[in-house]
Homo-oligomer: A and B are copies of this chain.
Amino acid sequence: MTAEKVKRAERMVAITQVLMAKPNVIVPLNTLAERFGTAKSTISEDLLSVRESLRLSQQGRLETLPGAAGGVRYVPEISKNEAERVLQELAEELSRPERIVAGVFLYMTDLLFNPAVLRPLGLIFAGAFRKDKPDVVVTVETKGIPLALVTSEALGVPMVVARHGNKVTEGSSVSINYLSGSSGRIQTMSLSRRALEPGTRALLIDDFMKAGSTARGLINLMAEFEATVVGTGVLMETAFRHEPKLVENYLALLRLEEFDPLSVRPAFI
Compute how far the CA of A165 lies from the CA of B60 in the bound complex, rounded to whole angstroms: 41
Question: Provided the pairs A17-B57, A115-B158 are in contact, do residues A10 and B52 lie with their beta carbons within 8 angstroms?
Answer: yes
**Is A268 part of the binding interface, using a Cβ–Cβ cutoff of 8 Å?**
no
**Given the complex, which residues of B lie within 8 Å of A31, measured CB to CB?**
none
Provide the bound-state CA to CA distance between A171 and B109, in Å: 11
CA distance A59 to B110 in the complex (A): 29
The CA-CA distance from A115 to B21 in the complex, in Å, is: 12
B1 touches A57 (CB 8 A): yes
Asked if A205 is an interface residue, CB under 8 A from chain B, the answer is no
A257 to B215, CA, bound (A): 41
Partner of A116, one of B25, B56, B145: B25
Q: How many copies does the complex hold?
A: 2
Q: How far is the CA of A165 from the CA of B266 in the complex (A)?
A: 32
Query: Which residues does chain B contribute within 8 Å of A195, judged by CB atoms?
Result: 109-110
A262 beta carbon closer than 8 Å to chain B:
no
Q: 8 Å CB contacts to B: which residues of A150-186?
A: 152-153, 156, 158-161, 163, 168-171, 182
- Would you call A58 an interface residue if the criterion is a C-beta within 8 Å of the partner chain's C-beta atoms? yes
For the complex, is A44 an interface residue (Cβ under 8 Å from B)?
A: no
Q: Is the CB of A56 within 8 A of B6?
A: yes
A106 to B168, CA, bound (A): 11
Which residues from chain B contact A58 at a C-beta distance below 8 Å? 1
Chain B residues in 8 Å Cβ range of A68: none
Query: Is A41 in the interface zone, CB < 8 Å from B?
Result: no
Per the bound structure, the CA–CA distance linking A13 and B14 in Å amounts to 9
A251 sits at the interface (CB 8 A): no
A109 adjacent to B149 (CB under 8 Å) = no
A171 → B minimal CB distance (Å): 4
- A17→B14 contact, CB < 8 A: no
Q: Residue on B with the closest CB to A55?
A: B1
Q: Please give 14 more A-B residue pairs, beta carbons under 8 A apart, in addition to A22-B116, A109-B192.
A: A1-B58, A9-B49, A12-B13, A13-B49, A13-B50, A14-B54, A22-B119, A101-B171, A107-B171, A109-B194, A109-B195, A110-B194, A113-B159, A141-B142
